[in-house]
Every structure is written in structure tokens, then in C-alpha cells.
Chain A
Amino acid sequence: MKVTFPHMGHLHVPLRSFFAALGVETVVPPPIGRETLALGTRYAPEFACLPLKVNVGNFLQAARMGADTVVMAGGVGPCRFGYYAQVEREILRDLGVKLDMVVLEPPQGHWRELWLGLRAITGGADLKAIWRAGKLAWRKLTALDELERELHRVRAREATPGASTEAWRKIVDRLDRAEAVSEVEEVARQGKALLAAIPRREDDDVLRVGLVGEIYTLLEPAVNLEVERVLGEMGVEVERSIYLSDWVKTNLVFHSLHLRDDREEYRLAAPYLGHFVGGHGLESISFTIRYARAGLDGVIQLAPLTCMPEIVAESILPKVSRDVGIPVLTFMLDEHASEVGMRTRLEAFCDLLRERRRRKERFLVGARDAAADLRE
């Protein structure tokens, strides 16, 4: 059996590690590129959102490389992603592509299905082996997420554009090759040092922007036109609302144990949105409020075109933006999105944020002087 899976950011690193530790051969699809999109848009329904199209592209490319089994996530709730595994299975069958699909349903109420799915892929590995493989994969994922947070801080301040991205590539590659938890720890330490050693610019004129929106477009750089890198190289420190390890913890582990605590998200969003709308629609609202309170300069919302949960959020965000006083820019992405168009809007958004900050600082200086005058 040769197992493949869809790309989503650096998800392939822990996944490959997980399967390798269980002795399962994997085929990682080539990085998402033009060919992936060309295949996906050709065989997926036009009105489906981008994740489905890219998934299909990933699977077809992996099949060419000899993969025979796809591991795909299922889902529950109002977002249509939960249905994509089924649609993809149909598309592959219609195309006559020989790929078996194993759907891993989220553990919320689907423990049995998840267990059966895992057993099917791993050829009946025992729980202990799965636990050990999971531990290594998990540490890789958390290390990647920790280092990526650091990457965002460094990139906004690097003296040579591209220096931190280069270091990041090395880090991902080394983590990918690590074979034991101790090795992961060592690579993580090296990675931190590598990022810390990158020469910084002298000025510290850095904007802080929060990224909210749909998980796939947030996590997959090839789909969001590398918005984090582009912003970073414009001197913007990015804070992302979703990291895969956090998501796994809250949604897969805590949720299934009935320990998930998202009361704060509901409480923050309550004046604008009183219930779950699927995906991360509610979090797009609550995180915009969090970011405004944390003093960030702006918020960017990312979503695939026609994404229902984020359309709900998009229509609410102008009011939130006015109320809490933080500018919000929305990008709805599909295969037609252009880097040039995005860059123009990002540049304009940064101009807006810088000017806003200058005004605020001038106002604060003015207020301080006025207060000093009063004291005299």
C-alpha cells in the first residue's frame, strides 16, 4: 500500500512521519503548483470552493507517482468540506483512477470509524505503535508551529528580503527527516538559533496584522498566494488565528473529550453573531475583536470564494471593524486570484495602517504635551 494525503501547509511533515513510523509507505504529492490547479479545476465542479479543487489535483498527481490509497479527512457541521471526501471519491472513480479512499471522520461521536480507518491504513497496527508514531508526528507539528510563529516575527525585521524564508525551508526539511523525538528537539533548537541569527533591519517600523478566516486558505501558502511572506517582506508581522496544532488540540482532542472551551469566542462574537455558522466564521469575528484589543494595526480575512461561513463573517466584519476600531481587508480566493491584484491591495492596506498609526502617535504626543501644559 502506498498512502497519499492532501497538502495543507506543512501538514505533510507530521503525516509522513506518522505513517513512516508505522511502516506504511507514503507518497507526498508534489508541492501545489500550476499543474495541481490545472488538474483540480479541470476535474472538480466549478462552483466548489478551492480546497476541493486543490485536493483533487494533489490526488491525481500522487496517483501518477504510484500512490494507491488516499487518506482524507471527513467532517461534520455546516461547512461543505465534510462532504468533500465523498465527492472526491466519486470524481476519482469517474476518472477511472485507482485510488482507494480512507476517510478519517472527526472523533466527535465517530471514535469507531476513526479507529477502523486507522486500522485499515496501518494494516492492523496495535494501539501502542500508533501512540508512539502519533507522539513523534505531534512533536514535529508543534515544533513547526512554534518555529513558524518565530518566523513571522523575524521576517518582518530581516535586513535581506528572503533570508528568513530560506532558513524556514531548511528547518522544514530537517524536521521532515528527523526520526526520533530527541532529534526533533535538537532540530527545533537549531531552527530557533538559525532564525535568531538572521540580520535585522536597523529601524523597527513594523506593522502588526492579524490573519483570520478559513483554515485551509490560512494554512496553505500556495493557495493564499503566500500572503504571509509577501506581508512579512513588506515589514508586517503576521499573527495567525489558526495553527494546525492548536486546531488539532481544541477540535480533535478536547472537543471529543467534551473539554473544548470556546466560550470566550462565543462571548466575544455574541453582539454580532449568536451561533455557530460552520468552519471558522465565528472565530473570524471573535479574533478580529481580540486583535483590536491586543493593539494590532489591522486584520486580513482569507477565505476561498463561495465559502459560506466566511461570507457570513465578511458581511458582519464592517460593523465589527467600526465598533472596535481596526481596519479589515478581505480576500476571497480561487484559481483566478492574481498575485498582482493582491499585492496592490496589500500595499494600499499597509499605507492605510501606517498613516493611521502616525496619526495615533501624533495624537498621543499632542495629548501628552497638553497634559504637561495643564500640570504647569
Chain B
Amino acid sequence: MQAYLGLDVGSVSTNLVLLDERGEVISSLYLRTQGNPIRAVQEGLAQVEKEIPAGTSIAGVGTTGSGRQLAATMVGADTVKNEITAHAVAALNELPEVQTVLEIGGQDSKIIILRQGVVVDFAMNTVCAAGTGSFLDRQAARLGVPIEEFGALAERAENPVRIAGRCAVFAESDMIHKQQLGYPVEDIVAGLCEALVRNYLNNVAKGKDIAAPILFQGGVAANIGMRRAFEKALGFPVIVPPYHAVMGALGAALLAKRAVAGRRSTHFRGFDVSRWHFAVSSRSCGGCANQCEVVEIRGEGKLLARWGDRCGRWSNVSVEAAGR
């Protein structure tokens, strides 16, 4: 059997999805990147290798996320795509008539507007990360609520408290203030969800034409409190797809399937990569005033790629092609 592998290497999580020929999910993984994308990718590959059914071969690999270039270089990818396109592809696969995708990940959030199966508009958060997964994690920890129970707690609220959601730091001080005034924790948690949704709609989704059906993707979609807050603010039902947390990786796998269609080879280096020794080094190029930080990545001692320079002086050296 042939299978397609998608990797989404983000700032907070590294996700892997393995698809079969019909596009059904064979296995999916959600790992914490923990500041070490190389280790996360290797760990993920090792786990997929364990779970892969006998007689299955990898026919195509796609990468996405902020670490897409690194991951592509490491594993040998057939396609490297930005996370907006990857999320849109996965959403369309889930629900072909989808018109809006709300996505909130670890450190970024985005909105994708689709019409008749095509992306027509999108936006990503620019100035502020208030309302993303990292912030929710932090607040849950501060309130002593496990993040998994955060949403259920919010659902029990009767009178959500109004919390200033413009900035993560001010939201936190406002929450502390409300706690000190004696508001019940569930009302604060629900209020926080509403504040974050308000912030998202006023910043990321500003000026966007939100229409149903709406899909809610990303790790934060697991939070029922956030989903309800979106439904309340938008007045439409919000659908959370089963693989919401790994939609980027799913999209990358679907894109890999498309990329290798009609050819018989893949750039995949094989699962051995999980045992390779990778070394990354960076230095400041003194060639001009830009002082680009040039990154160099070696696998098993061999130069695989360089990037980070604006002029191509370093990245255009002949290295083994990472595939595009």
C-alpha cells in the first residue's frame, strides 16, 4: 500500500499525518516542538515508523508550518507549502462547501475565506498573540485548571465576566483583578474565551466576510469554551473537524499526494532520518549592510541546505535539492 506523509512544524507543536491512497487518515501525531524542531521531527518520524502498517511505503511527503523548510530539508519533501494553503486544502477535503476557516494555533491565528472551493481572502495575526494557544495554556496554568478542562469549565459559566482582551498582558492583569474581586473561576474562564474571540474578530478577522459553514481548526479548537464564544459572537454554528489539531499536516499530506500524482518517485529520504545526526549552525554574513543570518544544515556531516541570505550568495550553492 502507498501512503502520504504530511508534517506541520509549528512554533508550539509538530504534527504528522499519514494518509492512505483514498485520503483516509492512517495515523496522526501531535507533538510539542519545545524549541527543538529537529528533535520533534525525528521523534515524530520514529513514531510513525512504528505505527505504519506492514507493506506500506511512503509515496510522497509534504511539509508546512513555520519550520517547513527545515523539515523539508531533513526528510526530503515533494512539496513545501505555507500553512494557509495547507489548512485550506485540509478544510476543503473535510467539507467541500466550507466558506470560512478559523484557525488558532500555538502562536498564530488566521482566518481563511473560501467561496466555491477556492481561497478568496485570508489574514494572519500580526501585532499580537493574545488569544492563541500559548496564552490560553499560560492562563490555565495560572488558574490551576488543566488545559483539557478549561473549555468544559467555561461552559458551566452563568455570567461570563467582561475581560479586556486587547493585549495578553493586560488581559492577565484584568483577570487577576476580577479574581480578587471574587468572581467565580468559571465566569472568568468563559469571559476570557469571549475576550479572546472578540480580539480575534476585531484584529485577525477585521473586514473579512465571514459566512457559514464555518470550520474551527488548530489546537485551540479543542476548547469548547472558545467554540461556544465564537458561535455566540458570530451567530452561526461552528464545526470542529475530528482532526482539527493536525489539519495543517493533513493538508500537507494531501498536497504531497497531488504533487507526486503522475510520477513514481518521492524525495523522501526514508525513516532512517530519525536516527541521523543533524547539525545546524548560523552565522552573520558580513558581505553587505544587511548582515543576514545565514543558517546551514548538515545531515550525517553532509551539507544539505543553507538559507537566510537575501542575495542568494549562500543559498544558491549547489546542495542536494530539497524539492519544492
Contacts and interface: CB of A to CB of B under 8 A. Distances in A.
Contacts of A351: 81-82, 84-85, 119
Interface string B106-125: 00000000001011111010
A356 B118 contact: yes
Contacts of B83: 344, 348
Interface in A312-342: 315, 317-318, 321-322, 327, 332, 340-341
A317 B208 CA distance: 11
A19 to B, nearest CB: 22
Q: How large is the interface on A (under 10, 10 to 19, 20 to 34, 35 or more residues)?
A: 20 to 34
Contact of A327 (B84, B121, B127, B316): B121
Interface in B79-133: 81-85, 116, 118-122, 124, 126-127
Interface stretch (B15-23, B45-53, B262-270, B284-292): B284-292
Contacts of A35: 289
B173 interface: no
Interface in B169-222: 207-209
Contact of A31 (B118, B126, B127, B289): B289
Interface residues of B, number: 26
Given A34-B291, A348-B82, A348-B122, A318 B312 contact: no
B311 interface: yes
Nearest to A345: B124
B289 A345 contact: no
Contact of B126 (A165, A332, A355): A332
Contacts of A137: none
B310 interface: yes
A33 B124 contact: no
A32 interface: yes
Interface in A209-262: 222, 226, 229
A341 to B, nearest CB: 7
Nearest to B312: A162
Interface in A267-319: 305, 315, 317-318
A154 to B, nearest CB: 16
B66 interface: yes
A347 B118 contact: no
Most buried by B among A321, A343, A348: A348
A33 B288 contact: yes
14 contacts: A30-B289, A31-B289, A33-B291, A34-B289, A162-B311, A162-B312, A327-B120, A340-B66, A341-B124, A345-B122, A347-B82, A348-B84, A351-B82, A351-B85
Interface of A: 30-36, 161-162, 165, 222, 226, 229, 305, 315, 317-318, 321-322, 327, 332, 340-341, 343-345, 347-349, 351-352, 355-356, 359
Interface of B: 66, 81-85, 116, 118-122, 124, 126-127, 207-209, 288-291, 310-312, 316
Closest 9 CB pairs between A and B? A33-B289, A348-B84, A318-B207, A162-B312, A347-B82, A31-B289, A351-B85, A352-B119, A344-B82
